[in-house]
A = this chain, B = another copy of it.
Amino acid sequence: MMPKVTLHHIALMVADLDAAIAFYRDALGIALEGAHDVDAEGVRVAFLPLHGDYANRPPAIELVQPTRLDTGVAKWMATHGQGMHHICVQVDDIDAAMKRASEHGATFTSAEPGRKSDGTRYVFIHPKTAFGALIELVQT
């Protein structure tokens, strides 16, 4: 049986969050859900949910602006510039998802899922094992 894999968000790295919010909201017409600082990660983020299935969480565009220079995302943007950074998919059981993925060659940026301040468990699949794309798994 196929597990339930839902798109949670697509993360875009931006240099100026307010300007990027204005573009995605005003130029594309995607409503802003909200923006906030995540001090522990050295970023300020905004979520813009796309129209979709509001019975579940609709997929969102997440805009991410680094607020410190010493983070992984700040270094990534210094190398790659602004643009698409990762795709986040939501799974029912992150431990089962990691086991399945590792049996098919995936490696992860940490051996165990981390935990966000709201309790969400998350892990990233290494892009070298996912055909160049950085994929985040979350279990909310």
Query: Interface size bucket, A side?
Result: 35 or more
- Let me know if A83 and B127 touch, CB within 8 A: yes
- Let me know if B89 and A50 touch, CB within 8 A: yes
Q: Shortest Cβ distance from A95 into chain B, in angstroms? A: 14
Q: How far is A131 from B22 in the complex, measured between Cα atoms in Å? A: 11
- Let me know if B51 and A100 touch, CB within 8 A: no
Contact with B along A3-35 (1 / 0, CB 8 A): 111110010111100011011001111110000
- Let me know if A87 and B84 touch, CB within 8 A: yes
Assuming A4-B51, A5-B28, A22-B104, what are 15 further A-B pairs, CB within 8 angstroms?
A: A2-B29, A10-B87, A12-B133, A23-B104, A23-B105, A27-B101, A27-B103, A28-B100, A28-B135, A52-B52, A53-B53, A63-B131, A83-B131, A83-B132, A83-B133
The 3 A-B pairs at the shortest CB distance, nearest first, are namely A82-B132, A53-B53, A83-B132
